[in-house]
Amino acid sequence: MSIRRLIPLAAVAGLALAGCTSNTPAEDPADTGNAVNQAVSDNDEPGDTVVIGFSAPAADHGWMGAITTAAQAEAEKYEDVELRVAEGTNDVNLQISQIEQFINDDVDAIVLLPFDGGALTDVATKAMDAGIPVINVDREFSSPFASRSTVLGDNYGMGVSAGTYVCEQLGDQSDAVIAEIAGIDSLPLTQDRSQGFADALDGCGLEVSNRVAADFTVQGGEQAAANLLQAAPEIDAIWNHDDDQGVGVLAAIENAGRDEFFLVGGAGSANMMREIQDPESVVKATVIYPSTQAADGIKLARLVAHGDRSLSDLASFSVPRTVQLFAPVVTEDNVDDYIDSAFES
């Protein structure tokens, strides 16, 4: 049996609550001990079966692969969820056709991580107009009418976290040379990360001296890092936006025989955390960009499709309009709390 509880668009537009607007967590994961969350609702109790369509870009690097794997694992926890996974693609037109097929199939909800948020806005709006709630993940649509809820990583917060860590290490050195290896410069997420980094550094009187952009790939990271190292004979700290491209960045650093600086990663891969555990490595930290965003999207889609459920930890009756996840820094002090759940680059 498949159901859909339709949600009036006006009600959707009125839901302005942000799920986690602060970049400061209530408490550290290490302090949670073995405490068990006390349920205050029956959200996990099985209900009528809901069909959820899921579409994401191709799993051509570790983080994106982890996104899809986590979404599938989350759906398997619920006997009342039937998950239909479209083949991962970086072809915008193909992803549009996947969403159109979900609409034709009359699924109960869609979880969509678009390859290009702007390009997928119209078809997502079409789904919403058809009464199918869309949960937008990671890359935002260009219209608020294209989704019921949005689950985001905190790109600006990533930059702030990375810059704050650098300030803690070098804030008393006004002449410190700070370098940055960004992702794809044309993407808003890259621009947000760079802005957050610059703003945090400004708070302690530092600034980026050398900056290059890569493309979130190993090859791109290696080439960008090689160019950076050639242009800057002396560096005190490097922030690399993405741990997948960080594999190439580390290769370039090894090839150049450089180790006078420390490196802060981005995304939170397991291999970068193993580098943090190695006292001989230049990697001293990485900033988490959660690969659980689509898994959270599945949970929200299930609640929205059931219609009469909300998040049990909120007083509000409805599922939030926006949920933004925290971007913590992982160092040698807390790496053991994160490494077991990290993705492989």
155-288 — its CATH code? 3.40.50.2300
Q: In the block, which residue shows the tokens 């959200």? A: 43
Question: 3-state class of 153 per DSSP?
Answer: coil
What is the per-residue pLDDT for 1? 40
List every span in the chain annotated with CATH 3.40.50.2300.
9-152+292-325, 155-288
Buried b (16+ CB within 10 A) or exposed e, 15-44: eeeebbeebeeeeeeeeeeeeeeeeeeebe
Residue 331, number of CB atoms within 10 A of its CB: 15
pLDDT range class, residue 41, cuts 50, 70, 90? low
9-152+292-325 — its CATH code? 3.40.50.2300
The upper half-sphere exposure of residue 79, i.e. CA atoms within 13 Å in the direction of its Cβ, equals 3
Q: d(Cα 2, Cα 326) in Å, to the nearest integer?
A: 34
pLDDT range class, residue 42, cuts 50, 70, 90? confident
Mean pLDDT (whole number) for 38-56: 81
Mean pLDDT (whole number) for 315-342: 92
Q: Is the pLDDT of residue 145 over 60?
A: yes
Residue scoring higher pLDDT (230 or 60): 230
Q: d(Cα 193, Cα 141) in Å, to the nearest integer?
A: 18
What is the per-residue pLDDT for 33? 40
Q: Is the pLDDT of residue 171 over 90?
A: no
Q: d(Cα 102, Cα 63) in Å, to the nearest integer?
A: 25
The token pair at 269 is: 């891969």
Q: d(Cα 209, Cα 78) in Å, to the nearest integer?
A: 50
- Give the H/E segment covering residue 98: helix 92-104
Q: d(Cα 336, Cα 345) in Å, to the nearest integer?
A: 18
The upper half-sphere exposure of residue 198, i.e. CA atoms within 13 Å in the direction of its Cβ, equals 12
Q: Is the pLDDT of residue 156 over 50?
A: yes
Residues 6+ apart with CB under 8 A from 304: 5, 7, 109, 133, 135, 148, 149, 319
